[in-house]
Structure formats: C-alpha cells, structure tokens
Chain A
Amino acid sequence: MTDAKQAIFAAIRKTLPAPAPAPTIAAELSQLRARINATRPDRVSGPADEVFLERVQSPGVAATAERINSFDEFPAAVMRYAVRHNLGLDIALQPHPDLATLNWSGCQTHDHIGTDETLAVGLALGGIAETGSLIFHSSQISPTLFAFLPLHHIVAIPYKNIWPWMEDYVASFAGKSPPRNVNFVTGASGTTDIEGALVRGAHGPGWLHIVVVGSPGL
C-alpha cells in the first residue's frame, strides 16, 4: 500500500508545508514539555509509597491494600486474603523467580493462568503514586493475561519501585526498547455500560489486592 501512503502524504502536503527541520520540531516540542509540570494535579505531596497506598484505596481506584515488612511475608498475606474471601488456596502464581523462591507451603500453585482462574498472585514491575496504578511489562516472567483473567488478583509491589508521577515512570524507561505490552492497572475491572451504574468484574478481575513490600524506615 505504498501508493496509499504516498497519496495520504500528498494530501497532507496540499494543506501543510513540507515538514520543518527536525531540530525546529524538537525545539518546539521541548517548549511544550517544559509546561507539563505546571499542569499535573498537585497531589503527590508526601512520600510516593504513602501516596500510592492512599490512592489505591481511594473510592476512584477502590482496590484493597496493605503493607508488609519483607517479601517473605507475602505468602502469609495471600493466605489471609484467601481466608477473608473464602477462597481455596489453589493459586495461579506468576512465573517470576522472586515469587517462586518464597515459601508457599499450605498452597497449591501453578505457573499458568486458566480462563476461569479464581485467584492469581503476581509481582508488579512498579507503580505510580499519582494515579494508584500498577505497572506490568510483558515478558517471560510476567505474562499479560495474569492481570486480566483471574477473578481475584493479589499483587506485590516493592515500595522502592513506586514513581511519584506518570512522567517519572516514562523517564525511567526512555530510550529503551518497549516490551510487547506495558499495562497500567488502576483498580479492578469495571463497567458503567448499563445505565451508567458501576459494576466491578466486567471481564478482568473483580477484586484487586495490593501488597506494598517494605518501607523507607526498614
């Protein structure tokens, strides 16, 4: 469809001049970027991990959350959640080496996700305090469907990997080649498609529980 591309570009040129030199465009863009900080909602005023914990539990995001002191405590947190929600301990465990090394005795785990999985446990790459979002990069140790197929999703996130603003996350990966999927997950799946009424668990998880691991004081 080279013809189509040429035709589209010719149609653009009918109205617009030929593109300006790249440095001119880049200079204009950097002037726009200089204005971004003044437009961000002024809400990340405290430590990013604390703001994150508050945001994920706010009515807009409506996840549940807790903080544990060390990663070793994560299986116990998962089991407490399962008991609270009356779930069995048959867990789809994200195939992440850090999760595999934990002591899951008392649970049955498998490293794949089923179509109707009840409970999946994962480890996020990081999070964003501003929006209360978890971030996943698809990979061998982070399959995308773990965040979308289960009914309950419990996710651990190291407190050090929480960026204050969305732009801080972007800056951390600038210039690197992107994974197939970058997923920002901000609360459990929901829909307002019937009369505007919010219902959780539309296609993705109906429950999202976030476990922040560690804190600056420890």
Chain B
Amino acid sequence: MNAFQGRVTAALADPTLKTAIDRTTNTARSKRAAAIAAWPEFAQARELGRDMKDHVIANMEYYLTMFEANAVKTGAKIHWARTGQEACEIVVGICKAAKAKSVTRSKSMLGEEIGLPHALEAAGIERVETDLAEHIIQLAGETPSHIIWPALHKTREQVGELFRAHHTDPGELATVEEMVSSARRNLREKFMAADVGISGANFLIADTGAICTVTNEGNAELTTTPPRVHIVTAGIEKLVPSMVEAMTMLRLLVRSATGAELTQYTTFHAGPKQPGDVDGPEEFHIVLVDAGRTTMLAEGLAEMLRCLRCGACMNHCVVYRQIGGHAYGATYPGPMGSVITPSLDGLETSQDLPRACTLNGQCHEVCPVAIPLPTLIRGWRTKAWVQGYEPLHTAWALRIWEFFALRPVLYQLASNLALRIMPLFAKGGWISKMPLAGGWTRYRDMPIPQGGSFLAQYKKRQAAK
C-alpha cells in the first residue's frame, strides 16, 4: 500500500469524516443548483468567462505589464517571485523590515500552496488565521481539506472541543452560533493589534492595478485595513483586463462556490492609505507569484489557468465526497487538484491522483469556466503510462485487457462469462463479496449486471432498426 492508498484507507475508516463531508457538500450542491436554475443565462456566461480567461492567458505578458504599471501608480510596491520559496522570502522580508511581531492572514490558497504559514512561523512571527475555518484548522494544527471550506472535515462537536481548549471565555459552545460568537470575540483584538495583514487576491484588475478579495465573514477587510502593512500574494494567472470583466467572473465564481449571488464583502484594494484617508495601511505590497504557472502553460495545461478556485468540482466529485481533501495529500484536492498537483509536485509522486477519478464528467459540467478536467486528468494518465509510472499490477491488468480488447470474439466470450458468473455471488440483489473485487466491495456493494453485454444490446438494437 503506497502513501496515497494509506491515506484513502484511513479516510474511509474514519467514522465521522463522511458525515462531515456530506453536511457541507450536500448543502453546497443544492445551493449552487438553485442559483444556476435561477440564472438561465448561465451557459452563455460560462462560455464568456472561459473566453475572457483564455484571452487573458493568451495575452498574459501584456496584462501583467499593464497591471504592474497601474498598481505602481496607486502606490503599491510590486514584487515578482519565480517560486513559492522566493515568494515566502519576500513576504518574510517585508514583515521583518516592518518589525512585525504579529501577522493576520485572510484565507489564500496560494499562501497554502507556497507554504507561507510555515515560513512565517519559522521566522518567529505570530500568525493569526482570521477566516473562521482557517482559525479552526490552525488551532487543530492541520491543513485545509477544501479550498472554500478548509475545515469541512470537522464536525461541530470537534470544533466545540477545539474552542473549549484554546479560546478565552468560550461560553457554552452548545450551538454553531455560540462557536462563531466565541471566535469573533477571541479574534477581535488580534485584528486590531496586527502589524501586517496578508491576503490573497481573487482577481488582479489590470487597468486599475487594484486587487479583488471576496469573503462572507468580512475578515479580509479587517485583515487588510488596521495593520501598518498589507501584503498581497497572488498567482500571475489571476488577471482580468478590468473591473467590467471582474463582474462577469464574480457572478460565475460566487454562485459556483456557495450558491449566493455575491459574497457579502467584495472589495477592490488599490494601494496604501491615501491622503486624508482615516484608515488603511501605510504600505501596500503585491507579490506576483509564478510557482509553476508558466510550467503549466508549457505542459499544455493553459486551460487549468482559468481556474477561479470555486470548489464546485470537488463538491460534485464522487471520489472527493468519499475520501475528503486530506487523502489527496496536496494543497489542492478533488478534480482540480488532480490536474494541478502533478504539475506542481511532479507526476512520479502524485500519479495516484489522476487515477483516483471515475471520469464521470461532473466536474467539467459544473466548472464555471468550462475547464475540461476529465480530459486533463486523462492526459496525466497517458503521461504516467508513457513514462512507465503505472504500478506493475495495473500495467499487467491493462495488458490483459488489451489482449482481449484486440480480439473481439474472445472479449465477448469473456464478458458473457463474467455476466453469468457475477450473479452467483449476489445476495439480496447486490454483490457484497467476489474474488478479485475486494477493493470495490470492501467499502460498497456492487450492483448485479442487468441484461446482456453492451455489444449484445447494441447488436439487438441495430437489428431492430
């Protein structure tokens, strides 16, 4: 059993994980479905969103140059980082120059990707996660298991235990409302006392040099306004030409992520405090991070750079909903993670991820910018095969299948035989145990095959025409 299989086995054996995943993803799916049903123009908007992102990616150098020039005009200081490590060094350097003791951070998946939480801690800077879910996992000493709901794997009972152990005057914590209230009280002073606030960016607005953040809690603005310094870390693919395109993207992003029409707080940050402003930071830094984006471009994964990080693909993924995010062993779980991780971490170490997919196409259907995730996942499988990364038993199984597939008569004989044998193992209409199928039946029953084989049914239908 390799590391991935070990994590999956542990996840499937976890008695509360499936309940926790279901509680959040079921709500997310039904809310998204309602929001899309109330937006008949969604299909056209999705195509437009796709084309806008493709336009930006195709002209990335042009828009990056425009963004930098306009951001500098607002008083922002721009930094460029080739790698995650370089980005962390820049952020820590700015914090040290500001003599920062305490840093508040608003949730950013890029920050997680480049290891910023660890880098801040290694530099001896107090890190306060302000998004409620990030606060929960910081207290638990864990990593996010979902890109929108990082603490999705925690039940309310587990959150209550954490707050009881770590919060000052947590109160009863009998309800989710009381838990939220306790977090509000405990984080209040931290917001105001921080020396530096760090955020990500959902969009970089090229024609104004502003960056856009979206939150429902209001923690981004409380992270970025009171401290003396605001640092933004953003992937270079986050560009949109102007606020006009940002509006289309916001309609797509928010409905796909939470089913709302707009997040409670959508903020465009442009530079530091201006003359006369009552609040706001004295310094405003934007760290533009490559960290594998240009490699993805070169690897034929330009479509993946459209990703808005909405999380809809994982909410609809039958695999993610069984194993949760931690089993993927990477920053980005689910279908989008199965495409990104092999590029970021190397295919040899993450080849299991593209294989942990049923290719049912749900992720592509719900993606707000129409990323062909199943096609990209299949691309990684092909590369893994060509580069000889497939485990021996998989390679042999595929060779055996190939042997039969190239001999139609034998193939039909074998499938007909299987169709006759499989029902012998059934009890009560389902197969709970069968030789060579332990990997399947250990966690779920298999339905008895109905009717003849595909080819037999096809021939019958053709004959009836």
Residues of A within 8 Å of B179, CB to CB, are 194
Whether A181 lies near B23 (C-beta < 8 A) is: no
Q: Across the interface, do B278 and A36 meet the contact criterion of CB distance under 8 Å?
A: no
**B184–A8 contact, CB under 8 A?**
no
- Min CB gap A191→B, angstroms: 5
Number of A-B residue pairs with CB-CB distance less than 8 Å in the complex they form: 264
Q: Which single residue of chain B is at the shortest CB-CB distance from A183?
A: B267
Instruction: Answer yes or no: B208 CB below 8 A from chain A CBs.
Output: yes
Instruction: Give Cα A139 to B187, complex, Å.
Output: 26
B269 on the interface (CB 8 Å rule)? yes
Q: With A and B bound together, what is the CA distance between A148 and B265 in angstroms?
A: 10
A116 and B294: CB pair below 8 A? no
Say how far B324's CB is from chain A's closest CB, in angstroms: 14
List 11 other contacts, CB 8 Å, given A5-B80, A145-B221, A204-B264.
A16-B58, A19-B62, A29-B241, A40-B41, A177-B73, A178-B208, A190-B217, A201-B180, A202-B184, A202-B218, A204-B221
Sampled A-B contacts (26; CB under 8 Å): A15-B294, A18-B61, A22-B62, A41-B251, A115-B188, A115-B192, A131-B261, A138-B279, A143-B277, A143-B278, A144-B221, A145-B225, A166-B247, A167-B247, A170-B247, A171-B244, A177-B73, A178-B270, A183-B221, A186-B263, A189-B216, A193-B133, A194-B136, A196-B26, A199-B177, A203-B217
Say yes or no: A32-B177 contact (C-beta < 8 A), given A19-B61, A42-B40, A145-B279: no
If A9-B61, A192-B27, A203-B187 touch, whether A144 touches B264 (CB-CB below 8 Å) is no
> 1/0 contact trace for B1-35 toward A, CB 8 Å?
00000000000000000001001111110000000
Interface string of B209-236 (1 = CB under 8 A from A): 0100000111101100110000000001
Chain A 42-60 near chain B by CB (<8 Å), digits 1 or 0: 1000000000000000001
Q: Which of B47-55, B358-366, B382-390 contacts A (4 or more CB under 8 A)?
A: B47-55
A33 to B177, CA, bound (A): 43
Asked if B265 contacts A183 (CB within 8 A), the reply is yes
Give, as a whole number of angstroms, the nearest-CB distance from B457 to chain A.
41
Q: Is the CB of A138 within 8 A of B277?
A: yes
Please tell me which stretch of B113-121, B154-162, B396-404 contacts chain A, meaning at least 4 of its Cβ atoms lie within 8 angstroms of it.
Answer: B154-162
Task: Collect the chain B residues with CB atoms within 8 Å of residue A25's CB.
Answer: 59, 62
